[in-house]
Amino acid sequence: EGRNAPKSVLLSHDIEHAKLVEEALNIQSSHRVRLLVPRRGEKRRLVQHALTNARDALDRRLLESASQRRLLEGLAETLELDFPPNRIEVYDNSHTSGSQAVGAMIVAGLGGLTKNAYRKFNIRIGAKPGSGAAIKPGDDYGMMRQVLMRRFARLQKEDPDRTDKQWPDLVVVDGGAGQLSVAGEVFADLGVRDVALAAVAKGPERTAGRERIYLPGRAPIMLPPSDPVLYFLQRLRDEAHRFAIGAHRTRRSRDLRRSELDEILGVGSKRKRALLHRFGSVRAVADAGLQDLQEVGGINHKVAQLIYNHFHSN
């Protein structure tokens, strides 16, 4: 759409309504477009080569699909699900000392990772996550609660009858029993049913292959390091972690470019970066003492005094 078609389109076989297709392509293009079915010569060899590539690609896709189906069936057996999940949502959070916190959701299913369904959530520090006390910086449980509350409250509002295939069959959270408990509380508060829950905790010293899988009402599961289901869960967790870190870095970079520090005379991009690297957030800079500010690289006494005065003028 919005691009000219080539003057000649080579086909492997005749198609119905070829003239109508040509007319449609001619309308969108600045030149005449012809559909050709070459019978011999170099153009025929090009079409045969394209057919071979297409068949190979289809074979690979079918093989991947069959492999993915076996993984989903194995996952359902391991987690004692009623059926292999068609849609899996995996959640993770990323932040720096509690600042610029971002929640991430990735989606996977029979077709593998569904990247156009990924979502990120800018976590609102200080806001209540749906129930209980307000979230404090570094409160991983509160952050997960807020993300899941926002996600499933919106699903209930936009697709209450679950007809748009946006509801997951399985939710996996990064973490252990605590994160699993938070997810269960959110589902109970919202009345969410028929969505399975699991949490994947890293092994001791974050050792791959020693993860524990936590499930509601069951003892943690440890799969053999060579188990394909464990490898599948590791891939999903790692993809959620990668996406969360990327979203966090984007938010942090944006905040670096635009913050209250920009209003202070003598604080340019380098000093702003140094301050945020040291303290983690503008709020922490505001709470810092004069001596603490002077200890930041590139901040002399005069600039430290300007920063301190800016936040303590009242």
* Distant-in-sequence, close-in-space partners of 94: CB < 8 Å, separation ≥ 6: 101, 102, 104, 241, 244, 245, 247, 248
CB atoms inside a 10 Å sphere around CB 82: 9
Single-letter amino acid code for the residue at 83: F
pLDDT at 96 over 70: no
Mean predicted confidence (pLDDT) in 251-268: 73
Q: What domains are defined for the chain?
A: 8-76 (no CATH), 79-254 (3.30.420.340), 259-311 (1.10.150.20)
Question: Residue 178 corresponds to which tokens in the numbers above?
Answer: 């605590």
Cβ–Cβ < 8 Å for 73, 84: yes
- How confident is the prediction for the chain on average, in pLDDT? 87
Q: Which of 11-20, 160-169, 240-249, 292-301 has the lowest mean pLDDT?
A: 240-249
Buried b (16+ CB within 10 A) or exposed e, 118-156: bbbbebebeeebbeeeebebebbbbbbbbbbbbbbeebe
Confidence of residue 24 (pLDDT cuts 50, 70, 90): confident
Q: Which residue has the higher pLDDT, 261 or 252?
A: 261
**Which pLDDT value is given to residue 247?**
78
Q: How far apart are CA 289 and CA 296, in angstroms?
A: 12
Q: Three-state SS across 118-187?
A: CEEEECCCCCCCCCCCCCCCCCHHHHHHHHHHHHHHHHHHHCCCCCCCCCCCEEEEECCHHHHHHHHHHH
